[in-house]
Amino acid sequence: MTLRERDADLTEVLADQIRRAAKSFYGRQVDGAPLNLAGHRGIVAYDPSELVITARAGTPLAEIEAQLAAHGQQLGFEPPQFGPESTIGGVVAAGVAGSRRPFAGAVRDCVLGATILDGVGRRLAFGGQVFKNVAGFDAFRLQAGAMGALGVILDVSLRVTPAPRRELALIIETPSEAARSELTELLRRPTPLSGAFHDGQRLHLRLSGGEAGVGTLARELGGEEEPFAFWDVVRAFRRAEFTHGRTWRLSLPQSAPIPPVGEVLSWDWAGAQVWLRSDAPASAIWAAAQAAGGHATLFRGAAPGEAVFQPLAPAMLALHQRLKAALDPAGVLNRGRWYEGL
């Protein structure tokens, strides 16, 4: 079976499942049936000269990255790799970016358009396939991080970037706070820095760019070269803090002090994404993150029914409710995945 023969458009099948779910109004369903998009796959359009790729939601991430790599390109936001089952629709719905995020942008920054099924099975197309198409409300970017609650992604168009000519991994012995301070200064000027991760004892840096730029910065920073496999482990979320225990993820301004609400395990995004373990009440962690100018998410270890995302301000909650009502009036798409009732 060829790759093209495996490609399939299951729009009508998926729409029918949504329509049947929307008619199930009697009683409150607390458990939903999964909507499997694995078979809805295939690269719809890709022109390397346009730096845009369009693919159906069930297309494996590995397949897309292999196609891009063959033309010297990549997804700039560096989506996490959770195994061969990772799909491009899941990547966008989760909205999680890798270590390149502060240097190349978030997932939503790279989404140029999307086609979805709304909560009553209607097929809706938003955006386009060129970055300059920004007229009107950017509804397609709402799908990044929506966890499927605002529509079933059928296909998505993403901006891609050229792959760097050279990459180098460095390791430097430096305490956490000193490293964050030094990075604050480094980020004020253009450099080929594409990753900055601190494991609690050492700072791991990744440089990506041209030969001259990478070499010049490496000599300036010092440290020692390390195997590039370290960054593969970070991207795949295989470090212990990502897989065990009750782990919190704090998203903070890069220069903001880390709130003293738990044990800091590591940080990424040049200090803007902090991983910590804490038994403090969730309300205390959320308050501390908000006071620092950021927000907190209980990434792993939540009890059944426990809230995991930073509570929304009343005005923001009302906006979310209006969006949910507009795109999922029957409340059949991942209801409660974000917040209770949404």
Q: Are 208 and 242 within 8 A, CB to CB? A: no
Q: Are 182 and 156 within 8 A, CB to CB? A: no
For residue 198, report the phi and psi dihedrals to the nearest 5 degrees.
-115, 125
Give the per-residue pLDDT at 18: 58
- Cβ neighbours for 2, distance < 8 A, ≥ 6 positions apart: none
Q: Are 130 and 52 within 8 A, CB to CB? A: yes
- Of 80-94, 211-225, 281-295, give the lowest mean pLDDT range: 80-94
Mean pLDDT of the chain: 88
Q: Count Cβ neighbours within 10 Å for each residue of 186-216 and write b for 16 or more, e otherwise.
A: bbeeebbbbbbbbbeebbbbbbbbeeebbee
The pTM is what? 0.87
Torsion sign, CA atoms 179, 203, 160, 111: negative
pLDDT in tens, 295-329: 999 998 888 888 899 999 999 999 999 999 999 99
Q: How confident is the model at residue 29 (pLDDT cuts 50, 70, 90)?
A: very low
Q: Exposed, middle or buried: residue 261 (CB in 10 Å: 0-12, 13-18, 19+)?
A: buried
DSSP 293: T
pLDDT in tens, 262-289: 999 999 999 999 999 999 999 999 999 9
For the cut 80, the answer to whether the pLDDT of residue 11 exceeds it is no
pLDDT in tens, 91-102: 999 999 999 999
Give the residue-averaged pLDDT of 8-28: 56
First vs last C-alpha separation in the chain: 41
For the cut 90, the answer to whether the pLDDT of residue 197 exceeds it is yes
Rounded CA-CA distance 198/138 in Å is 35
Torsion sign, CA atoms 153, 156, 158, 163: positive
Q: In this structure, which topology does domain 243-300 adopt according to CATH?
A: Alpha-Beta Plaits (3.30.70)
Task: Write down the architecture of domain 166-235 according to CATH.
Answer: 2-Layer Sandwich (3.30)
pLDDT in tens, 100-109: 999 999 999 9
Fold equal for 166-235 and 243-300: yes
Give the per-residue pLDDT at 31: 53
Q: How confident is the model at residue 24 (pLDDT cuts 50, 70, 90)?
A: very low
Q: Please state, in angstroms and as integers, the Cα–Cα distance from residue 281 to each residue in 107, 144, 150, 241, 246, following that order.
A: 30, 29, 30, 19, 12
Beta strands in 69-139 (DSSP E): 73-74, 111-117, 123-127
Q: Exposed, middle or buried: residue 103 (CB in 10 Å: 0-12, 13-18, 19+)?
A: buried
Nearest to residue 255, comparing CAs of 183, 172, 199? 183
Rounded CA-CA distance 222/205 in Å is 11
Q: How confident is the model at residue 244 (pLDDT cuts 50, 70, 90)?
A: confident
Q: How confident is the model at residue 17 (pLDDT cuts 50, 70, 90)?
A: low
148 φ/ψ sector (left φ>0, alpha ψ -120 to 50, else beta): left
Residue spans of the domains in the chain: they are 3-162, 166-235, 243-300
**Paired tokens of 332:** 């059949």
Torsion sign, CA atoms 188, 192, 193, 195: positive
CATH 2.60.40.10, domain 3-162, yes or no:
no
pLDDT in tens, 120-139: 999 999 886 544 444 445 77
Give the per-residue pLDDT at 139: 79
